[in-house]
Structure 1
């Protein structure tokens, strides 16, 4: 008697005339797609390191779009799709959750109630005004919601978080992230220039940068430029920005409720919760950072991992956008992005000027 153990294998039926043959069904592997996305992220991060001011997120998206449209054979595309799908969803959400490690409750308390009110006003009024502009321009609800939240809270991470609870198209998220990067990068030199023309002190200019600019990395770049004229500007700018980041979880929870009522909530998951798991992870990371137990090296490492995961995810998102899809973007999202940038910057300026008593 043979002592071989029986191994159950999924079977698929194939009919050959009168005879039915059972063949094993191979499960798709995520490894090839993840490796390609990781390679794209390495290139994007390297480009950002070599060229100051370059966003790895935008480079990763562009690389992904290029790869998607170079005419890869269908079998290769099918081989990569599982891994790219995992990167564009799961890794992206892990990256958003890790963003919470950069935020401590004590930092928000140290801001004072006035600055906290300004940050909250920028987020709430920024989203409301952007949604109104988008409706007037004729931009679809999901697209204008992604732009409104991305431009008012924390850029690509906010857009990705909102995408997790609404039934938006991949093209809409990629478009939003690209616009966030382009317009936010343009603000890096424009905010210091405008601050000089308006006669703002370095401290006020730093607060304005933190309240107005989209991405945390873009705020750091602007704050570093302003830091040359006065100390403490960078820390103030980043702290105000993180106050906006703190509103990510409640905003996404509200968006999830509204999306359910409209029947436009995310459909690719079974009974998705109002507050997604990755947002609970974000709050857990905030709580962990707030304990003061994390070593600065751990915080820095978590920030590096978070940026890397988002870059990998952006490549995967770009790889999911075909040439025929890009043709339908149009001018309206670009016009909305420009309007949202000006609107958020104006609200932020009024807020910081009120704090300084001007």
Structure 2
């Protein structure tokens, strides 16, 4: 993993207060109002997603939660359930995402494509971290944007936040940027692929290697047509698989730089539990023993959990907060999008 992730131990420690006392855990009754709201939001988003199959329910949920939060002042009693959904439910959903992957599908891409996928993630993160440093952004903000744009969108942003403990406005900004720039990529990649004269399969590989969210990749692959969707999805899921080693690396880095001599600093585990669960789900799916009916139900549950989590994240997005972060995160998001897409295109041209 690139050394750019290790710019400043002091900067990393500043993101994790050493003397703060963690709040008392919320009781089950305290969680219910917020959980109920997230359940309603997820059901609405998934229902709209069925009517508009080219639009991800996760993106609908993020936008819906943000619209609600900016139009209505949410009661304080909703916050414990919303926080639980945006953290705990999200991690369970990420773990279940592993049931969509099989090691054989990834290996079936060939070692050339696998090398391209690794290059996209590693160089994408390294380049984004370096550009963000030049722009003067915090280490944690750079990490969130780098992971979201190089791996798998909002899920990667939230997963990275669970390891590096970024500020709330940094998390929400990174999620909003994934939605904005990933959505813009849906029509852009098919259009540019046509202008560049790429075959449908090469265009699908480029879409899977460059677009942020899985659902956004599916939308672009569908627009390209001619078998592009299948290869786009598998290449994207190969990038999702990179979530595990990147989170493990971030966890180790955070442990090293969070003040090992201070007993007051809560350090993350060597390997996050949801990362282990994610890999376990991939291994379980790869056995071929799980029936299709079970996988269908698991996918529905995973989508519901991630949609509820994204609704909770969206409910914390306030226009005033996004406006207050200034233009630099948007500049980094644009640079990262172009950088990752360029790496993916060069890789496609080499192995295609």
User: Do both proteins adopt the same fold according to a TM-score greater than 0.5, normalized to the shorter chain?
Assistant: yes
1:181 is the counterpart of 2:179 = yes
Distance apart, 1:338 and its partner CA:
0.8
Question: What is the match of residue 291 of structure 2?
Answer: 295
Q: Deviations over 1:306-331 (max 9, x none)?
A: 22211211221232345653442211
The structural deviation recorded for 1:269 is 9.9
User: Residues 27 and 225 from structure 1, CA distance in 2 versus in 1: closer, same or farther, beyond 3 angstroms?
Assistant: closer
Query: Residue 28 of structure 1: CA displacement?
Result: 5.1
Give deviations 1:151-202, integer Å, cap 9, x for gaps. 1011111111111111202222222122112211211111111111111111
- Aligned-residue Cα RMSD (Å) equals 2.3
- In 2, Cα distance between the equivalents of 1:37 and 1:171? 20
Instruction: Give the whole-Å Cα distance in 1 for the aligned partners of 2:28 and 2:215.
Output: 39
1:255 equivalent to 2:250? Answer yes
Higher helix share: 2
Is the CA contact (8 Å cut-off) linking 2:66 and 2:316 kept in structure 1?
A: yes
The structure having more radius of gyration, on CA atoms, is 1
Picking from 216, 229, 246, the partner of 1:234 is 229
* Corresponding residue of 1:23: none
Contact map agreement 1:147 1:176 (CA 8 A) in 2: yes
| Ranges in structure 1 where 5+ consecutive residues have no aligned partner | 1-25
Q: Secondary structure at the match of 1:164?
A: helix
Deviation beyond 6 Å, 4+ runs, structure 1? none
Distance 2:136 2:107 in 1: 40
Quote the residue 2:12 is aligned against.
none
TM-score w.r.t. the length of structure 1 is 0.84
Alignment of 1:72-91 (within 5 A): 72=73, 76-77=75-76, 79-91=77-89
Distance 1:264 1:139 in 2: 22
- Residues in 1 aligned to 2:291 and 2:271: alpha-carbon distance in whole angstroms: 29
**Aligned mate of 1:309, from 305, 312, 336:** 305
1:137 pairs with 2:135: yes
Q: Is contact 2:251–2:268 with CA below 8 Å preserved after alignment?
A: no
For the residues of structure 2 that align with 1:321 and 1:246, how far apart are their CA atoms?
28
Q: Which residue does 1:201 correspond to in 2? A: 199
- Equivalent residue runs for 1:140-151 within 5 Å: 140-151=138-149
Does the residue aligned with 1:194 lie in a helix, a strand or coil?
A: helix
Distance 1:299 1:215 in 2: 21
Distance 1:192 1:318, change over 3 A: closer
The answer to whether residue 51 in structure 2 is matched with residue 50 in structure 1 is yes
* Count of equivalent residues: 324
2:214 aligned partner: 216
TM-score norm. by structure 2 comes to 0.85
Secondary structure, aligned partner of 2:203? helix
Q: 1:102: which partner in 2?
A: 100
Match of 2:341 among 337, 345, 349: 345
Asked if 2 retains the 8 angstrom alpha-carbon contact of 1:41 and 1:312, the reply is yes
